[in-house]
Amino acid sequence: MAYERISISRMSGALGVELGNIDLSQPHDPEQLNEVRDALYEWGVIILRRQNITSEQYLAFARHFGDILPYPLVMGLPDYPDIVPVLKKEDERVNFGGIWHSDTTYLERPPMGSMLLAKELPPQGGDTIWSNMIMAYETLSDGMKAMLDGLIAINSAKKGSAAATREDSRKDGGAKNNSGMATTAEHPVIRTHPVTGRKSLYVNFGHTTHFKGMSEAESTPILEYLFKHQIRPEFSCQLHWEIGTLAFWDNRITQHLPINDYHGYRRLLHRITLAGEKPV
């Protein structure tokens, strides 16, 4: 795809690009934003460096791509409730979301995408890795594809591996933002992207517990294979954060892992989540 209003720099062979020639503190160019959207759909992860923007400008950028979805388990900023602080404090050992996952797949309509803006960073460490779920699907054997086709995955917010990574944030008031929320959802194991039509593998270690109509014991061997397969290094890209870096990813075709290698230091990113559709 040709880009005229932005520049593209590949992050890896699998997914991810850094975009240049874009300053979100300036009035937005609709044609440029269309190219940003195209890059997101083409590469799954887009990175914008050196974005010295206010919360209002951050929200205005996000709204070009869809409705903002409040994060269900952690409170947003007091003045900007749609922006959620993703914080690990100096005395904490567990980082928020610190496992491989797709965001909030326990919702009936999981987000189409998420954004993070770096505000405070440790002197080293704290990178984020993404993995390409289209490649994960396409590299499965024909026999495995046939077996998975039509299967439904059960996803839960209460799966222990994921729940443990939210505890410190919930202590800071997250439970107040959880009233009446459904915490379990059923989604196809193989989903089709609503824009590109490409198929991707849609189970994840953080939330997927078993297959519908099968017990956890029956599901576990297959899921363990898929969890290992979908994070193969050749499917991935890695981001080294800098203050002012904005990352935006398509949650429908990627998974991510924030690396927890900076104990004793503070790390703060501001997150915006964009509403999505029911997976098919």
In the residue annotation, 271 being an active-site residue is answered as: yes
Catalytic-role residue among 101, 166, 191, 207: 101
Residues 97 and 26: their CA atoms lie apart, in Å, by: 32
Question: Would residue 252 show up in a list of annotated catalytic residues for this protein?
Answer: no
> What is the DSSP pairing of strand 84-88 with strand 254-258?
unpaired
CA 168, 171, 172, 176 dihedral sign is positive
Q: Which of 103, 191, 193, 270 is catalytic?
A: 103
Is 118 in contact with 242 (CB distance < 8 Å)? yes
Q: 191, 207, 256, 270: which is the annotated catalytic residue?
A: 256
Whether residue 109 contacts residue 278, with contact meaning beta carbons closer than 8 Å, is answered with yes
For residue 22, give Cα distances in angstroms to 66, 116, 168, 270, 277: 19, 17, 35, 20, 28
191 catalytically annotated: no
Catalytic residue status for 267: no
Cα radius of gyration rounded to whole Å, the chain? 18
Q: Which residues are catalytic?
A: 101, 103, 256, 271
